[in-house]
């Protein structure tokens, strides 16, 4: 039994959750093989509907509650990940967060406690997916430790002009394939591209 934590239920995590649940319902991933937890502290806002996997009647609900009510099959946590304790009971962390502070905590904790992670990101027309590497030092070159900004998967100029990009769903799809590879013990490699 693999204890999986999806960390973040925004533009990437909300789709990734649905992909995983769909494969569980279809029996492609046996229910008995994984536990899925999802953690996020935000509520669905109207502005999220253009590019996140939520519907208008879910506005105002916690994102994790909305996903559980619609998809079922997940254990939800309405909280932010702030300490190693929040993740060390999980075997695999699917990182779908919007900031390097939480990414750093997860990278460090996974290397220290021998847990696995797949970091799944998008921004504008770019996609980046990083499976845990050989060392924290090697993985941390993709972190800006002084940058505490939260980044949407959509660029602000695209949101302002209404030119919503699809790359968050592409990132979720690639992250999902990497997740399947991990379950099937197939090695993953880092991916970075722009469309």
Residues of this chain that interact with another protein (CB under 8 A) are 8, 10-13, 95-100, 120-124, 126-128, 141-142, 144, 147, 149, 151-154, 168, 189-194
Alpha-carbon span 72 to 93, nearest angstrom: 20
The Cα–Cα gap between 176 and 187 comes to: 14
Distance of closest approach, residue 108 Cβ to another protein, in angstroms:
16
User: Based on CB atoms, which residue is closest to another protein, 57 or 138?
Assistant: 138
The minimum distance between CB 121 and another protein, in angstroms, equals 5
**How far, in Å, CA of 104 to CA of 82, rounded?**
11
Question: To which residue do tokens 């990101």 refer?
Answer: 121
For the CB of residue 150, give the shortest distance to another protein in the complex, in Å.
9
Torsion of CA 48, 52, 158, 153, to 10 degrees: 110
Judge whether 122 and 171 are in contact, CB under 8 Å. yes
Residue 160 Cβ, how far from another protein at the closest point, in Å?
Answer: 15
**Residue 128 or 179 with smaller CB distance to another protein:** 128
């Amino acid at each position: 039994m693999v204890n999986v934590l999806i960390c973040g239920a925004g533009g990437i995590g909300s789709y990734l959750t649905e992909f995983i649940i769909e494969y569980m319902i279809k029996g492609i991933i046996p229910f008995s093989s994984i536990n899925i937890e999802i953690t996020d502290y935000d509520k669905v806002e109207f502005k999220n509907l253009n590019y996140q996997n939520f519907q208008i009647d879910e506005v105002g609900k916690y994102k994790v509650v909305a996903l559980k009510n619609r998809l079922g099959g997940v254990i939800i946590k309405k909280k932010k990940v702030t300490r190693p304790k929040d993740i060390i009971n999980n075997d695999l962390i699917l990182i779908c967060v919007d900031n390097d502070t939480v990414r750093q905590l997860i990278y460090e904790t996974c290397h220290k406690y021998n847990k696995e992670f797949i970091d799944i990101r998008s921004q504008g027309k770019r996609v980046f997916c990083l499976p845990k590497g050989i060392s924290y030092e090697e993985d941390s070159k993709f972190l800006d430790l002084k940058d505490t900004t939260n980044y949407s998967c959509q660029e602000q100029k695209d949101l302002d002009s209404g030119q919503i990009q699809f790359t968050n769903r592409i990132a979720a799809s690639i992250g999902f394939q990497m997740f399947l590879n991990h379950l099937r013990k197939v090695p993953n490699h880092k991916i970075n591209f722009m469309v």
